[in-house]
């Protein structure tokens, strides 16, 4: 048994989880008035690589998604604004 490599390494798993784990983001999105708007915001976010599991809450004026990096939050806000809506961080 001694000298045998463990099949998995806890510390490596933890550091990978820190680095690779997508972060759940919620943005306020103003200016959406119908399903077309929320669909537009949805497609805008889905078009950004590194962003996944997008859902847009039209009535709650929110966009919820997972982002692979902190810099994607600013990018998401910028692209939503360029699409004609008003995004802001909670």
Interface residues with Cu ion (CB under 5 A)? Answer: 33-34, 36-37
* Closer residue to Cu ion in complex, CB, 33/70: 33
- Nearer Cβ to Cu ion (73/83): 83
- Facing residues of 52 across strands? 66
Least distance between Cu ion and beta carbon 52 (Å): 24
CB of 39 to Cu ion, least distance (A): 8
Nearer to Cu ion (CB atom), residue 21 or residue 84: 84
Q: What is the DSSP string of the chain?
A: -TTPPPSS-HHHHHHHHHHHPPEEEEEEEE---SHHHHHHHHHHHHTSTTEEEEEEETTTTEEEEEESSTHHHHHHHHHHHHTT-EEEE-
The least distance separating Cu ion from the CB of residue 40, rounded to whole angstroms, comes to: 7
């Amino acid at each position: 048994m001694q000298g045998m490599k463990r099949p998995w390494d806890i510390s490596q798993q933890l550091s990978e989880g820190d680095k690779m784990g997508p972060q759940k983001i919620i943005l306020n999105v103003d200016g959406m008035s119908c399903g077309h708007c929320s669909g537009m915001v949805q497609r805008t976010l889905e078009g950004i690589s590194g962003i996944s599991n997008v859902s847009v809450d039209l009535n709650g004026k929110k966009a919820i998604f997972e982002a692979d990096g902190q810099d994607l939050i600013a990018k998401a806000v910028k692209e939503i604004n360029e699409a004609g809506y008003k995004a802001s961080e909670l």
